[in-house]
């Protein structure tokens, strides 16, 4: 069974490839959500007494994104599975 891709420049995707792409997209979305939650909770903020200055502030987002990716890969909050099932039901 061939399913056409909605991504310009890509040919049709096979069902297993589409499932993997949907799962990956759902996991990325959960990781983005987790990164924002970590940001709001203060993860990566520099301390006033002993901080690394502006460089540390700029690279703190990379740390939060890496941590969020690992959390999502480890199962996260379960949002990725809910998002995946919703995307899969659209077909």
Q: 5, 15 in Cβ contact below 8 A? A: no
CA-based nearest residue to 18, from 5, 34, 32: 5
The per-residue pLDDT for range 60-79, each reduced to its tens digit, is 888 899 999 999 999 999 99
**In this structure, is residue 57 part of a structural domain?**
yes
Mean pLDDT of 84-89: 90
> Would you call 77 helix, strand, or coil by DSSP?
coil
Mean pLDDT of 24-52: 83
**In this structure, is residue 5 part of a structural domain?**
no
pLDDT confidence band for 2 (50 / 70 / 90): very low
Sign of CA dihedral 17, 18, 23, 25: positive
Give residue 67's pLDDT.
Answer: 93
**In this structure, is residue 39 part of a structural domain?**
yes
**In this structure, is residue 11 part of a structural domain?**
no
> Percent of the chain, pLDDT > 90?
44
**In this structure, is residue 30 part of a structural domain?**
yes
pTM of the model: 0.70
Number of domains in the chain: 1
- Tell me the β-bridge partners of 2: 14
């Amino acid at each position: 069974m061939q399913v056409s891709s909605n991504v310009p420049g890509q040919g049709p995707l096979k069902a297993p490839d589409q499932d993997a792409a949907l799962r990956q997209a759902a996991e990325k979305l959960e990781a983005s959500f987790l990164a924002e939650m970590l940001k709001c909770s203060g993860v990566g903020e520099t301390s006033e007494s002993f901080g690394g200055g502006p460089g540390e502030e700029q690279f703190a987002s990379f740390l939060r994104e890496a941590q969020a990716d690992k959390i999502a890969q480890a199962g996260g909050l379960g949002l990725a599975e809910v998002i995946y099932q919703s995307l899969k039901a659209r077909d």
